[in-house]
Structure 1
Amino acid sequence: MSRTSPLRRLPGYGRFWAASTVSSFGTPVTAFALQIIALETLHASTAQLGLLNAARWAPYLLLGLVAGVLVDRYRRKPVLVATDLGRAALLCVLPVLAFADLLTMPALAVVVFAFGALSLLFDAADQSFLPRLVPQELLTTANARLEQSDAAAQTTGPILAGGLIKLVGAPVAILLDAVSYLVSGLLLASIPVTEPAPRHRERRPIWAELREGLTYVYRHRMLAPAALSGHLWFLANSMLGTVYLAYGLRELRLGAFWLGVTLASASVGAVLGGTCAQWAGRRLGAGRVSIVAHIVMPVAWVLVPLARSGPAAVALLAAAQFITWATMGAASPNEMAYRQSVTPDRLQGRMNTTIRSLNRGMIVVGAPLGGILADTAGYRTALWTGIAGLLGAALILICSPFRHAQVQTTSASTVRPLGNDDC
């Protein structure tokens, strides 16, 4: 971060940013390695790969709304630390199963499901914790810095994953991610922050609090269309993501390394897009930046089914990934900052998990659907179907008042952190 960045003066944000960055460097390795294990070691079909991806996100669909209520009832920092350390321990199970020759698709799915449950709790607390560290006028910048770090890590992650898998095998490569979660948990534990005490006397039945979160999101003039568009986007994108690797490996015969290169292009695009996020938000507003991104993405994805083979295919896939994630890198921090800025602190957990859980729930449907379509109708048919879904998500935003959305900067964070952390 720049020495002149106002984020440098915020106690605690430096360690929060560092924790996110450290774990981000391991995550792409595991994500890529899991799919390579399924496809090349366990010889999974595309439909089975879709079910594995669905297992990762099923907890969001089954438990997500309840997680939001729980996060709003408790301090968020302890939840972040516990779930990070839990994920570190859980990822160590996969190499053990592999070395004992006990790794099967059902066993892989069980571990992935448990990992998803811990990630659900972490994500609910993570997005709700940031407004306690950062005032509203800096939320876009803070979110952009986090996404830039994540994208920078993912730039090297897929290539690193391909190299590690070739050198030591996918199970050992996953240990890198386990270490990153351990370091992240320790960094988060060291953040000095004052959080409000749990409000035991004010608690109502879980269903009543859950309904309050749903009502807030889906009756909000701006959040409702953004949420619905996001649900459709995740459905379509999960179809595309499931088909993408199998299409590249089996149809285009690119190999794990070159597929990693195309995915690294996505991360480069996200870094550059994140650099422009604050400027774009100030110039166009959060709503218009999001709409532009959603229009560009399906256009970029058209390049993927047009690819045939060889270096030209690598170039087309890399260009599609770069363009898609450059626009998302600019739009996502603005969308998140808008959501955080218009939501009261007591509803942050429920707002975030309501939107995120149903988004991830769409992956539970879209990932298997993409795999089934690819197996029955062909890879390109499945890709075109996913692209049509992205267009639908764009249309929802275009026809809604979300184009007028602006990040609110009228008040500061309700809880002030303590300490003298440097960013």
Structure 2
Amino acid sequence: MPPTILTLGMKLRNNSAFVRFWLASTVSDFGTYITTVALSVLILVSLNGTALDQGLVNAARWAPYLLFGLLAGIWVDRFRRRTVLITGDFWRGLILATLCLLGALQLLNVPTVMVLMFGFGTLALMSDAAYQSILPKLVPRPLLTRANARLQQSDTVAQTTGSAVAGGLVVLVTAPFALLLGAITHFVSGAVLLSLKHAATDKHPLRTEGSVRRKVGEGLRWIYRHPRLGPLAWSSHAWFIGSAMMGAVLPALVLNDLRIGALGLGLVLTGAGIGSVVGTLISIRIGQRWGTGRTIVTARLIQPVALALIAFSPLVAAAYGPLTDQAYGSPAAWPTPLWAAFAVAVGGQFLFWMSMGFEGPLEMGYWQAVTPDKLIARMSATRRSMNRGMIVLGAPLGGFVATITSSSIALWAAAGVMLLSASMLLFSKFRTANVEHDQLTDEEALT
């Protein structure tokens, strides 16, 4: 019986190595969403920051991808990938614990947060490269799309619950102490990975011949000269600029414009998680029916519409009459205009992340399935570094536009960038991509 048929009959839950990896990833994801909410409240409320401050902190967090990303895959190849993941988890936990301590002592300011988040981002860069290159070692290639779907489903559950929990925690114990819980999740994730024993994780590091320049060049050529991966890469770069603009502006819109507090921000992000859960549940089915390319293009055409809906939420509130300058911490105290604006913002988040949900597993599975094993770490690090490098451009840009105009206008601009991203895929060869037809065979993957 062919290897592909055998692997398709396997159950992921019977793969103990994948299950442990999945558990560690889920715990870490939970901490990520707690950290995202707590950090935004810390900057915009505790430190009285602006959308531009939020954008600068986001840029500092992702700057290592721009500065070191092309070398990250080469560096990861020199170490056992499990070791890189464990080290990244423990040190990121220490950085978040440091933020908690300095915040509790009232010694934090925006530049200090930027420095610490730069260190956090450097560790995340290395972990991301190892994360994407270890999965094909734990799971047969025909099951990669399914494995990525499971990982994204758990990520969406973490997003749904973690954001709401974070909002409540910030109200109860303040933003710095909410960050401490984020630190604990990284420690737990690292401990789970310590227990991961699998032949792929214990192998000696992969050594490849050639200079650093040659290795970087191989990764770049594979991504940008591939007839389908190339358009996907360029489209994703534009998408990340728009997404970064949204990431810098959305917390300011909720906390400063709508004034519905940390709990309101958590609930808005929970809407995103629910949408993502729905999307990942139908991702594989849609991909099988429509094909990988058509599904991803459709998802990216939906996303600008969703952003425009979020941008419309302050206008919905204003249609009911002017709001006061007071902050509404509890949903019980929200007037009707705020409930209407909240519903529109949640609807936009739901739609945006639902489309992300059915796009994400297919996109990641496609990248991994068509890339040779010797190039996966470099492909992953190069692609992620360029994408996250776009955050360094987009986050301050979004914050700047919001500061000189309004949060709504900045979100409209982000929607325009995402429409450009979708158009780049729509008129390229990628729209015919299909992971089942384009993936490497087992023999090709070993060469």
What is the TM-score when the length of structure 2 is the normalising length? 0.89
Amino acid at match of 1:376: I
Task: Determine if the alignment matches structure 1 residue 350 to structure 2 residue 402.
Answer: no
Q: Distance in 1 between matches of 2:432 and 2:129?
A: 27
Partner residue in 2 for 1:340: 368
Cα deviations across residues 20-49 of structure 1 (Å, max 9, x unaligned)? Answer: 111111111111111111111111122111
Aligned residues: 412
Deviation at 1:6, TM superposition (A): 1.2
Matched position secondary structure for 2:199: coil
Task: Determine if the alignment matches structure 1 residue 371 to structure 2 residue 403.
Answer: no
Is the 1:345–1:414 contact (alpha carbons within 8 Å) kept by the matching residues of 2?
no
Task: Determine if the alignment matches structure 1 residue 223 to structure 2 residue 251.
Answer: no
Q: Distance in 2 between matches of 1:301 and 1:278?
A: 25
1:190-205 alignment, distance < 5 Å:
190-195=195-200, 196-200=203-207, 202-205=208-211
Partner residue in 2 for 1:421: none
Q: Distance in 2 between matches of 1:101 and 1:174?
A: 14
Q: Which moved more, 1:299-308 or 1:218-227?
A: 299-308
Amino acid at match of 1:142: A
Q: Distance in 2 between matches of 1:271 and 1:413?
A: 35
Is the 2:97–2:180 contact (alpha carbons within 8 Å) kept by the matching residues of 1?
yes
Deviation at 1:194, TM superposition (A): 1.9
Is the 2:32–2:182 contact (alpha carbons within 8 Å) kept by the matching residues of 1?
yes
Partner residue in 1 for 2:427: 399
Deviation at 1:175, TM superposition (A): 1.1
Is the 1:46–1:243 contact (alpha carbons within 8 Å) kept by the matching residues of 2?
yes
Is the 1:69–1:349 contact (alpha carbons within 8 Å) kept by the matching residues of 2?
yes
Deviation at 1:101, TM superposition (A): 2.4
Amino acid at match of 1:197: H
Is the 1:135–1:411 contact (alpha carbons within 8 Å) kept by the matching residues of 2?
no
Structure 2, unaligned stretches of length 5 or more?
1-8, 318-337
Is the 1:131–1:413 contact (alpha carbons within 8 Å) kept by the matching residues of 2?
no
Deviation at 1:369, TM superposition (A): 0.5
Partner residue in 2 for 1:15: 20
Partner residue in 2 for 1:419: none
What is the TM-score when the length of structure 1 is the normalising length? 0.94
Choose from 236, 248, 253 the match for 2:259: 253
Q: Which moved more, 1:140-149 or 1:372-381?
A: 372-381
Partner residue in 2 for 1:241: 247
Amino acid at match of 2:349: Q
Is the 1:136–1:413 contact (alpha carbons within 8 Å) kept by the matching residues of 2?
no
Is the 1:140–1:277 contact (alpha carbons within 8 Å) kept by the matching residues of 2?
no
Choose from 124, 130, 138 the match for 1:119: 124
Task: Determine if the alignment matches structure 1 residue 31 to structure 2 residue 36.
Answer: yes
Is the 1:132–1:415 contact (alpha carbons within 8 Å) kept by the matching residues of 2?
no
Cα deviations across residues 93-112 of structure 1 (Å, max 9, x unaligned)? Answer: 11221233211111111111
Choose from 298, 308, 322 the match for 2:350: 322
Choose from 411, 416, 434 the match for 1:388: 416
Cα deviations across residues 72-129 of structure 1 (Å, max 9, x unaligned)? Answer: 3332111111111111122111122123321111111111110000000000100111
Task: Work out which structure has the larger RCO, using CA pairs closer than 8 Å and 6 or more positions apart in sequence.
Answer: 1
Q: Distance in 2 between matches of 1:383 and 1:167?
A: 30
Identity, in percent, stands at 45
Is the 2:77–2:206 contact (alpha carbons within 8 Å) kept by the matching residues of 1?
no
Is the 2:369–2:440 contact (alpha carbons within 8 Å) kept by the matching residues of 1?
no
Task: Determine if the alignment matches structure 1 residue 128 to structure 2 residue 133.
Answer: yes
Taking a change above 3 Å as real, the CA distance of residues 107 and 410 of structure 1, as seen in their structure-2 partners, is: closer
Task: Determine if the alignment matches structure 1 residue 161 to structure 2 residue 169.
Answer: no
**What is the RMSD of the two structures over their aligned residues, measured on CA atoms?**
1.7
Deviation at 1:204, TM superposition (A): 2.2
Is the 2:44–2:255 contact (alpha carbons within 8 Å) kept by the matching residues of 1?
no
